Structure 1
Amino acid sequence: MDQFLAFTVVGLSTAAIYAVIGSGLVLTHTTAGVFNFAHGAAGMLAAFAYWQLAVGWGWPVPLALAAVLLVLAPAFGLFVERVLMRPVQALGEAERLVMTVALLTGCIALARWVWDPNTPRPLSPFLADRPAIRLGPAAVTWHQAITMAVALAIAAALWVLLHRTRAGTQMRASVDDRALARLTGADPLRAGRLAWVLGIQLAAVGGILIAPTVALDAQQLSLLIVSAYTAAVFGRLRSLPLTFLGAVVVGLLEAYLTGYLPRNDYLPGLRLAAPALLLLLALLAFPHRRLRGRDRTLVRVPLPTVRGSLLLAGSILVFALLLVTVLTEDAIISYGTVFSLGVIALSYVPLAGYAGQISLCQLSIAGIGAVVWGHLGAQGQLWALPVAVLVAAAVGALIALPALHLSGIYLALGTVAFAVVLDRWIFTLPAFDVLGVRIALFDQGSVAITGPDLFGLHLTSPTQLLLLAAVCLALASLGVVALRRGRFGRRLIALRDSEAAYATLGGRLLAAKAAVFALSAGIAGLGGALYGMQLQTVTAEQFNLVAGLPIFLIAVIGGLGAVGAGLFTGVAFVVPAQLLDGLGPWAHDVTALLVALAGMGLAHSPSGVLAGMRAEWAPLARDRLLMPALCAVLAGCWLLAAVGAADGWPPLAVALAAALALRVGAAGRQRGPSDIPLEWWGLRRPWRPEDGEVLNRATAAG
């Protein structure tokens, strides 16, 4: 009984922290209409800042707390609201979600850059020198008592603020209808600003309270938010009492699993994954109209042309040939993952770009493809590659089952929970038998992966594997183009536009979602297998949730509706990191920070940068004089580098300068649609495929 009481005290103390953090999530969502995926990361930064002031610089604890909670946290909240969230407020739910994911990635990268993750930073509990408080057979430390008292005080203060003050009423009214709230005299901007300040302050309180009980690690502290996610979903993102109840359930569950879970090799990860499993159950058990809400601000999905698609596939192959002829063997190893990561990123296009289904677990699914190929294709058996794709596709279809009931941020939460379950439990399992079949994943270590046997040739060299990955990316891109141009692609666009209308017109939601999830997961599984071949040895950490966020962000930056997002993501993810790698180990965090900053610029180009790049370079591609000249310059630069007459940098600089100059020249030679009236298109300048849509819209508007 004494042991049970001890675990109960620990569970209630942890629950109090989850309740504080979850309350901040509910407050932000209820008043600003934003589910902040970076909420835990904000608390993590506050914990690091508190350590720096109180331990690193020796400030008195009260002064350090005041500086973090009353100065740094409010300033960070104002920055998030004014600089990041306000520009995307009118874009819709998906864009706000991406912005908070970018903020999460940036906070983790910033913390790792400023505070070396290899240096331990212990943080003492509050009043650790005082004896524990005895409550019968149970002992309560002063830190635990302070934590629970703070949680109760925050709960009461929030209830009074939201239900008994004018500011709270304005905050709740602003999220429902900002224009109507403004007519009643409320100020939605001020309400949103106050919500973000209070939300970040609550995250800071939770981060400081939990930091002494766990390692002060950027990734670990940021992912503790999964438990707060569960508490907030218990409250359906609007009820503070139910959020506190959910926090108690999660806290007690973790404590009791720690104390009473049987000791063997298969169950330790279950305790770590329990909050994520509970989050999945909560998402499915608490249906609500908000859980089914959809974003109506939709970005147009372009229809790829056959010529453009073939040009993209050819460009991928030519780019691969350039790399293998110009780079050294060591450089090919470093840059070889461009195409395999591009395949993984391409899996977002049919799923998120066409069908509008947000998934944050694609890299985890890629890890499944990698380990299946690693075990079944250990001797290079080619048949194991389609098996890896099919197994990954089956996992994707499994994810689609709860996806029928979820959409928007709730689907993203479900995929986050799935990724965390894989990271913390499934990928940590040792080998086991199921119906006489031996199942092995990472087997609590690493998996050695080799290349396949292709037409009697065993592909093992970095050059061969790079070319194989490039061919797979080119073929997969053409397959996604065929999907978009076909009937199923049009159905997916309709599904994205309106699930209700799609079902009303006879569409089968479950079949469509299962198919697109399986398809995208199969593509991710193929990319994971290719990625593993090039790395030769893979571990579970390379496929966790945090590792996959930058890939998702770059794909969004490129444009999820553009098939070229695969190649764009591979290049943007690998090339800057390799160029900065020589500067030191901190360069990786700088690269992740740059990716996050680019993701935060989403408001300036919600449809992605590829659409703008295509418009800028299209005149040069159509110019019959300057385009051959550019090809000649590129061929000359490649020849100089291939024969060793010049190293990689001067030819590259010449090629880039020539391309930019010729692009400007082509734009000057060709007059755009804004210079020529609509009625003269096709007469005074050549007719273009996209002109028909512009003309139809102009006619309809008239």
Structure 2
Amino acid sequence: MDQFITFGIVGLSTAAIYAIISSGLVVTYTTTGVFNFAHGATGMMAAFGYWQLSVGWGWPVWLAAATVLLVLAPAFGLLVEQMMRPVQRLGEAEKLVMTIALLSGLIAVARWVWDPNTSRSLPTFFAEKDPFHLGAATISWHQALTMVVAIAVALGLRILMFNTRTGAEMRATVDDRALVGLTGADPVRANRVAWVLGTTLAALGGILIAPMVALDATQLSLLIVSAYAAAIFGRLKSLPMTFVGAIAVGCLEAYLAGYLPQNEYLPGLRLAAPAILLLLALLLFPHGRLRGRDRNLSRVPLPTLRGTAAFAGVIVAAGVVLATVLGEGDLITYGQIFAFGVIALSFVPLVGYAGQISLCQLSMAGIGAIVCAHLGADGQWWAVLAAMVTAGVAGAVVAIPALRLSGVYLALGTAAIAVVLDRWIFSLPSFDLFGIEIALFEQGSVELVGPRLFGFELDTSAELTVFSAVCLALVTLAVAALRRGRLGRRLIALRDSEAAYATLGGSLLLTKLLVFAIAAGIAGLGGALYGMQLQSVAADQFNFIAGLSLFLIAVVGGLGVVGNGLFTGAMIAGPFNAIVALWPAMQNLVQVAPAAAGLAYGSGAVDDGVVPTLRERWELALRDRLVMSVLAGWIVLLWLLRLGDVINGYVLFVGAVAGILAARAWGEARHRPPPAEAEIPVEWWGVKRPWTAEDEEVLNHAVTTRS
């Protein structure tokens, strides 16, 4: 019994911190309608800032805490409010991009500023005081402080929300922002107060929990998963129920840590427990209407067969060029373009067409890599198909909770699945299931080899690069055919309105199962190709945080276009790797780049994505056969010169880029309409141009009409 009480005290102290963090999340969401995925990262940055001031620079504890909570956190809240104000016009996937980009960016910045290889720790508050006893339980002063602060936060929020004018404005803003403005209140001020209050509570929770865990950017940011679960208990709107949920989550975590049996299969379960609780809360609790359902949906263009076939040919040609001009080491790096492109292309039917937000596509790629590694150890070609089928089945399983989730709830659910996979499932040792031995990453890494096709073994980086390019081309054609077919029209109808789709006879169950399975199968193929290119992969390469960068670049590229696959793969494995190779000191800046791109997209820099914008600007040149023929001949000439060692790789690259830019300018010049003659006012007829008989008829007609 004493042990039970002890674990209960630990759970309550942790629950108090979850309550503080989750209450800030709920206040922000209910007032602004923006679910802040970066809420935990805000607390993480506050914890590192507090460490820097108190431990790194030796400031007094009270001054360091006051500076973070009263100056830095409110200032950051005002900055975020300015960034998030334009997102009201965006669709659900795009609205999440801003906060997901902020999450990814803050983690990258923290790793940049504070070297993750250096161990850091924070002392608990009042560590010099002896703990006191409550019956058989021992309570530290830090634990007591967290509980007192949580109670104070609950009382303070109650007074603010129901006994002040500002609180009334915040509650009114939830229902109708326009009506609030008509009554003389200021919804912008309410939003500012919500963001400042939310970031301050996240900072307070981060400072309180940092002494209890390792001071690690990713771990501290993902602690928010427990706070997410508490917020879902309150249905993202009820603060009392949020506090109840925090107590349930904190105590359950403590008792799992205390009473879970010790064996090699369960350590990861303790790490994944918050994500499992979040997923269960999403499935078991009813959810109200999401804010912002009257969203502005992005346009989904209809790809042409001819254009898509030409684009597929360009992909294969790019693979052949890379395979023939790059060395073995460079191909391992830059050949990933096509594997990442396949994984990114899985977002197009799922998110772009069907509107089903998924943050676990890289996890599906990990499943494909595992299956291909174990079934294709001797180059069996059918292992690639088995990887796609297995990942597709996993995607169909993910679709089951998607039947009752949408929007931000679906994003949270798929994020929880990704965390469970990379924190627990992927770390499991081999086990037997119905007499069949199941092996995953085997608590390390798995090796992959290329398939054996038509008697040829694809075992070199060059051959695997061309094979990956062909796979990306085929998947691009398949996704374009899907968009043009009946299923594509059904998916877009599903995205526009699930209720209308079901009313008109569409099967939500079948359609969601199908699109999740298709997308996961594509991602599984990409994971297998990625593993073949690297020859060996580990679970960390398919974790949740890595998947966020992939999602951000895919959204920036344009979720509704088939060219997004090549664009995303080229951005991740192309310039990012090249910049680091040329200037190693730029590595940290490159890691921030996906987040910066996501923030730029959310601010409205590119409306429909980079790929549609480029397609529009290249329209005239792409339709001109002469221009495209000359461009193709120029690139082939450069390629042949490189093969003959007449020029080096840098000249090939610069020459190709110059030719592409010149082709666009030439195409625009060939099809630019002639300038229209400036209209001469009537009073200058006969002066600036000769007088004609038609002019007299026009004037007589005008005078007659007016009279």
Unaligned runs of 5+ in 2: 678-707
Distance 1:667 1:561 in 2: 26
Who is 1:666 aligned against?
Answer: 667
Assess if the C-alpha contact under 8 Å between 1:295 and 1:408 holds in 2: no
Who is 2:578 aligned against?
Answer: 579
1:56-77 CA-partner distances (Å, limit 9, x unpaired): 1111111111111111111111
Assess if the C-alpha contact under 8 Å between 2:54 and 2:60 holds in 1: yes
| Worse overlay, 618-627 or 122-131 | 618-627
TM-score by length of 2: 0.93
Who is 1:690 aligned against?
Answer: none
Matches within 5 A, 1:365-376: 365-376=364-375
Assess if the C-alpha contact under 8 Å between 1:380 and 1:451 holds in 2: yes
| Worse overlay, 657-666 or 155-164 | 657-666
| Worse overlay, 436-445 or 646-655 | 646-655
Who is 1:644 aligned against?
Answer: 645
Alignment CA distance shift 1:56-1:585 (3 Å): farther
1:140-178 CA-partner distances (Å, limit 9, x unpaired): 111111111111111111111111111111112223221
SS in 2 for 1:538: strand
Distance 1:482 1:675 in 2: 42
Assess if the C-alpha contact under 8 Å between 2:33 and 2:291 holds in 1: no
Matches within 5 A, 1:495-644: 495-582=494-581, 587-602=586-601, 603-644=604-645
Distance 1:68 1:637 in 2: 57
SS in 2 for 1:313: helix
Distance 2:81 2:146 in 1: 28
Who is 2:122 aligned against?
Answer: 123
Q: Which amino acid aligns with 1:300?
A: R
Distance 1:283 1:582 in 2: 43
SS in 1 for 2:264: coil
1:675 deviates by 8.2
State which structure, 1 or 2, has the greater radius of gyration over its C-alpha atoms.
2
Who is 1:693 aligned against?
Answer: none
SS in 2 for 1:438: strand
Distance 1:145 1:237 in 2: 27
The answer to whether residue 417 in structure 2 is matched with residue 418 in structure 1 is yes
1:348-399 CA-partner distances (Å, limit 9, x unpaired): 0000000000000000011011001111111111122211111110111011
1:585 deviates by 6.2
Assess if the C-alpha contact under 8 Å between 2:88 and 2:292 holds in 1: no
1:471-526 CA-partner distances (Å, limit 9, x unpaired): 11000110001100000000000000000000000000010000000000000111
1:188 deviates by 1.3
SS in 2 for 1:302: coil
Q: Which amino acid aligns with 2:67?
A: A
Q: Which amino acid aligns with 1:113?
A: W
Matches within 5 A, 1:310-329: 310-329=309-328
1:638 deviates by 2.0
Assess if the C-alpha contact under 8 Å between 2:461 and 2:533 holds in 1: yes
SS in 2 for 1:117: coil
Who is 1:468 aligned against?
Answer: 467
The answer to whether residue 44 in structure 2 is matched with residue 30 in structure 1 is no
Distance 2:641 2:319 in 1: 17
Matches within 5 A, 1:484-495: 484-495=483-494
The answer to whether residue 44 in structure 2 is matched with residue 44 in structure 1 is yes
1:51 deviates by 0.7
1:303-335 CA-partner distances (Å, limit 9, x unpaired): 000111011101100111111122122111111
Alignment CA distance shift 1:324-1:106 (3 Å): same
1:586 deviates by 6.0
Who is 1:456 aligned against?
Answer: 455
Distance 1:177 1:669 in 2: 52
Alignment CA distance shift 1:43-1:492 (3 Å): same
CA RMSD of aligned residues (A): 1.7
Q: Which amino acid aligns with 2:42?
A: A
Who is 2:16 aligned against?
Answer: 16
1:410 deviates by 0.4
1:6 deviates by 1.3
Distance 2:379 2:633 in 1: 40
Who is 2:252 aligned against?
Answer: 253
TM-score by length of 1: 0.94
Alignment CA distance shift 1:398-1:50 (3 Å): same
Assess if the C-alpha contact under 8 Å between 2:445 and 2:539 holds in 1: yes
Distance 1:375 1:624 in 2: 47
Matches within 5 A, 1:306-345: 306-345=305-344
Distance 1:485 1:492 in 2: 11
Distance 1:446 1:425 in 2: 15
SS in 1 for 2:138: strand
SS in 2 for 1:447: strand
Q: Which amino acid aligns with 1:612?
A: T
Who is 1:700 aligned against?
Answer: none
Distance 2:150 2:641 in 1: 68
Distance 1:198 1:585 in 2: 39
Assess if the C-alpha contact under 8 Å between 1:34 and 1:93 holds in 2: no
Alignment CA distance shift 1:155-1:675 (3 Å): farther
1:396-422 CA-partner distances (Å, limit 9, x unpaired): 101111111110000000001111111
Assess if the C-alpha contact under 8 Å between 2:15 and 2:247 holds in 1: yes
